Chain A
Amino acid sequence: MTTTERIPAVEGWFTTSEPYTLIGAKCTACGTVVFPPRSGSCPSPDCDGTELEPTPLSRKGKVWSYTENHYAPPPPYVAAEPFEPYALAAVELEAEGIVILGQVAKGVMAADLSIGQEVEVDLQVLYRDADGVDHWIWTWAPSAPKGSA
């Protein structure tokens, strides 16, 4: 294991060291949680709360739906060349009552996924910039089957 710091592709949405979690914002007045994190006002129309604090979200969730991109998305997506199809999954976090979209861990394709399947947060490199710096993003990875290393 190297200890090189991982540069997140977006600031403040997930942890870059283990345990990897997404970071939401929680209203200090009513307890409502929102992702991506926001500040200034609670998203609930019935709450006057203005203070939201960062809160780690459940590491594990269940696949709500999934797809597989077969064409390179247009910029600002930084697509690898040649483009390799990859999967996206929308995952339901039960405790938070939120569905969150994310790329699926590299190599795991639509055929490997099913609705209701348990997945957990992991990280992978989203792209390498012109200076050779890797930018990391959260992924949904199938939870390791019991007994595997």
Chain B
Amino acid sequence: MGTLRPERQRVMATERDLVVLGAGMHPWGKWGKNFVEYGLVAAKAALADADVAWRDIEFVAGADTIRNGYPGFVAGSTFSQAMGWTGAQISSSYAACASGAQAMQSARAQILAGFADVAMVIGADTTPKGFFAPVGGERKEDPDWQRFHLLGATNPAFFALNARRRIDVFGDTVEDFAMVKVKNSKAGVANPYARFRKEFTLDDFAGSPIVSDPLRLLDICATSDGAAAVIICTPEYAMKKLGTLEGTVRIRAVANTTPTYPQIRLELPDIATDSNAVVQAPALGFKDSIAHNAYEQAGLGPEDVSCAEVYDLSTALELDWYENLGFCAEGEGARLVRDGVTALGGSKPVNASGGLSSFGEAIPAQAIAQVCELTWQLQGRSDGHQVENAKVGLAINQGLFGHGSCTILSV
């Protein structure tokens, strides 16, 4: 790790930066169908958008779901079989909320290594109702099982610990958190792929039950069914297809980052942080380092970002991301939502898709959906929720067990 701020090496994409040729999604919702059905819809939509035949896909990178039996664990294979075996190379990735980004990384690395010219990245999920619980069985050694069994520390409880810090340390208010939902729900109304297309107001929060104090049900993202896929390729492949690279969406960075010891911020699903008594904590915290690594890869900085898709698992977490992304200093996130900076029409629109607050999370599809959204934003195809003159898009998320990912696209 180098300097805190990346060197400005290249504002423009280089010849090597891969192209997002097409993107496709199945709308988010809660239908309880087989996740493969959703995936097929997204795959076919992405292929049509890219104008690429299924048989031409040389590499299939699947993002896994762990709640749908064996087919979910081998997602690359499952979708390949559903589409019709073609002998393509595959990978299947699980990295919790970062699974989709890990699949992106797998396909991108395969192409950059010269083993393929064009690949599909795909993820789909069918989710149970209610709180996310650990997968079944008594597993006393599993930290995820332990935190539920010993403490009842649900995901919202962890989000709430974080939100409480923001209130007591930074002076945020529950209204600030609610404003994130109000902003995201307003943007999501126009998104045909969003599950909740209803605009919420601050008044709606009074009637929303507290789940984990200080967070109410409306502060916390739901779980959803959904699917997303993208087709990515070499610039040469795109050139042959399109006759020009002008206006193509380029992949500037895909960073999948682990924490650096000692990780001193309590994060899901851990019951305790690392100790910093003997080894000093790193200058950059984990969540800051996720964005930092992507900025370094891209040769870009926060000032270059036109729009961002961040994981608003809770409203308060979105404010953290503003700070982790360098959009403002630590503790100032609430000001950005209060001042409309991160709303559509503001100078740094965040979650113009409507965010997880409008989608609910379909874990392995979500990071890929972020890439779909950014692709369409950069192509000016986001009717009703378009960010004006979007040139650089950034997507960031964090999964359980120290997975974090950040993807940067530019046009």
Contact = CB atoms under 8 A, between A and B. Distances in A.
B87 to A, nearest CB: 41
A29 B203 CA distance: 57
B284 interface: no
Interface-centre pick from A30, A43, A90, A110 (highest chain B CB count, 10 A): A90
Contact of B165 (A45, A77, A115): A115
B271 A65 contact: no
Interface of A: 9-10, 30-36, 43-46, 64-79, 86, 88, 90, 95-103, 110, 114-115, 126, 137
Contact of A30 (B145, B164, B278): B278
Contacts of A95: 277
B150 A67 contact: no
B161 interface: yes
A101 B153 contact: yes
Nearest to A78: B149
A51 B276 CA distance: 19
B154 to A, nearest CB: 5
A46 B148 CA distance: 32
B210 A70 contact: yes
Contacts of A34: 274-275
Given A71-B211, A88-B161, A35 B138 contact: no
Contact of B151 (A72, A75, A88, A99): A88
Contacts, number: 141
B160 A67 contact: yes
Interface stretch (B129-137, B188-196, B339-347): B129-137
A31 B278 contact: yes
A74 B133 contact: yes
B149 A66 contact: no
A76 B168 CA distance: 32
B52 interface: no
A99 B152 contact: no
A70 B210 CA distance: 7
Given A9-B150, A103-B151, A115 B169 contact: yes
A74 B129 CA distance: 11
Given A65-B164, A67-B161, A69-B152, A36 B145 contact: no
Given A70-B213, A76-B134, 4 more contacts: A67-B215, A78-B149, A95-B277, A110-B213
